[in-house]
Structure 1
């Protein structure tokens, strides 16, 4: 598919940071000022639906999603982790792994809801500092899968 934003290998700094890349998937730490620790697990090859993948590919992808979730829980200590695969705007398989807190801007709605409240800047800054530990934690979680 042409012009798919998730098919491109280049990542602008304002979009986030590439944490890990394998033959089939890559993991991005999304640059989201309201939701520090938000990660995206992206299937490298363009495919719109999970059923476009083989059973083995699906298992591999979900193993990575769960490794990211585990690292996010360990590092960020969220009240909840949201895992979502929507693809309505970008029909390319990708999973969102989002640490959620009762005081985040969108709680209790989804990360794509209207703002419900303002998180104090000091709390957001603390979460941004924690999120800097995610690349190492995610790489370690993936390394432990081997």
Structure 2
């Protein structure tokens, strides 16, 4: 039986926050934006349509739940949600809180400005903020 493994590029570029019923919640290591990624814990999946109908519905619920919570937390002007997969084939969905004052507004975030990695203290603060936001449905990873 295959076990889920996070794509090495996603693992290198993100910090694990925790697990929803279907997906891992990751924080993109780019402090330019509140940028999160949901990765369904299903092996060998590259496209949304490859998920079962139940998993498709669960993923849509998780995306909507995360987007709604993050919009409020970060006072976002717009929530960007995207599943591209051109460089990382493993199915993953970006959920990015955008503000008119962010570094790339109103353009897409990809390749617009240099990545600005979080420092360790800021990652801890971000995780603490998220713990107050996601009080149910998310099983937090051990720190």
> Structure 2 length normalisation: TM-score?
0.73
Bigger relative contact order, structure 1 or 2 (CA pairs below 8 A, ≥6 apart): 2
- Structure 1 residues 101 and 41, CA, compared in 2 at 3 Å: closer, same or farther? same
Matched, 1:89 2:87: yes
Alignment match, 1:7:
5
**Pair 70,142 (structure 1): closer, same or farther in 2 beyond 3 Å:** farther
Q: How many residues align?
A: 127
Cα offset, 1:12, TM superposition: 9.2
- Whether contact under 8 Å (1:17, 1:28) holds in the other structure is yes
Equivalent of residue 39 in structure 2, options 26, 34, 42? 42
User: Which 4+ stretches in 1 moved above 2 angstroms?
Assistant: 6-17, 128-132, 138-143
Contact 2:15/2:27 (<8 A) preserved: yes
Per-residue deviation, 1:11: 9.4
Q: Which residue is 2:110 aligned to?
A: 112
- On the 8 A contact 2:26/2:37 being kept in 1, the answer is yes
| TM-score normalized with structure 1 length | 0.71
Aligned to 1:21: 19
What SS does structure 2 have at the residue aligned with 1:7?
coil
Residue in 2 that maps onto 1:51: 49
Distance across 2 between alignment mates of 1:72 and 1:131? 13
Shift of 1:7: 3.1
Q: Does 1:137 align with 2:133?
A: yes
Contact 1:38 1:97 in 2 (8 A): yes
Q: CA RMSD in A?
A: 3.2
The residue aligned with 1:120 is none
Q: Which runs of 5+ in 1 are unaligned?
A: 1-5, 116-125
1:141 to partner: Cα distance: 6.0
Residue 78 of structure 1: aligned partner = 76
